[in-house]
Structure 1
Amino acid sequence: MAYDHELADRVRELVAREQHLTERRMFGGLAFLVDGNMAVAASGQGGLMVRVDPEDTGVLTGEAGVQPMVMRGRELRGWLHVDASAVRARDQLERWVALGVGYARSLPAKTPRR
Structure 2
Amino acid sequence: MAYDETLEARILSTIDGWKKVSTKKMFGGVCHLIRGNMFCGVYKHFLILRLGEAAAAAALSERHTRPFDITGRPMKGWVMVGPNGIETDEALTGWLRKAREFAQALPPKS
One-letter identity of the residue aligned with 1:22: S
What is the TM-score of this pair, normalised by structure 1? 0.92
Residue pairs, 1:70-89, within 5 angstroms: 70-89=69-88
Residue pairs, 1:38-53, within 5 angstroms: 38-43=38-43, 45-53=44-52
Give yes or no for the alignment of 1:10 onto 2:1: no
Unmatched segments (≥5 aa) in structure 2 = none
The aligned length equals 110
Report the 3-state secondary structure (helix = DSSP H, G, I; strand = E; otherwise coil) of the residue aligned with 1:3.
Answer: coil
One-letter identity of the residue aligned with 2:98: L
Query: How far apart, CA to CA, are the structure 1 residues paired with 2:46 and 2:83?
Result: 4
Give yes or no for the alignment of 1:103 onto 2:102: yes
Q: Give how far 1:72 is off.
A: 1.4
The residue that corresponds to 2:68 in the other structure is 69
Report the 3-state secondary structure (helix = DSSP H, G, I; strand = E; otherwise coil) of the residue aligned with 1:33.
Answer: strand
Query: How far apart, CA to CA, are the structure 2 residues paired with 1:96 and 1:2?
Result: 22
Percent identity reads: 26
Query: How far apart, CA to CA, are the structure 2 residues paired with 1:69 and 1:42?
Result: 11
Q: Give how far 1:99 is off.
A: 0.9
Give every structure 1 segment of 4 or more consecutive aligned residues whose post-TM-superposition deviation is greater than 4 Å: none
The residue that corresponds to 1:54 in the other structure is 53
Indicate the structure with greater strand content: 1
Q: Give how far 1:102 is off.
A: 1.1
The residue that corresponds to 1:24 in the other structure is 24
Contact 2:57–2:77, Cα closer than 8 Å, also in 1: no
Unmatched segments (≥5 aa) in structure 1 = none
One-letter identity of the residue aligned with 2:21: L
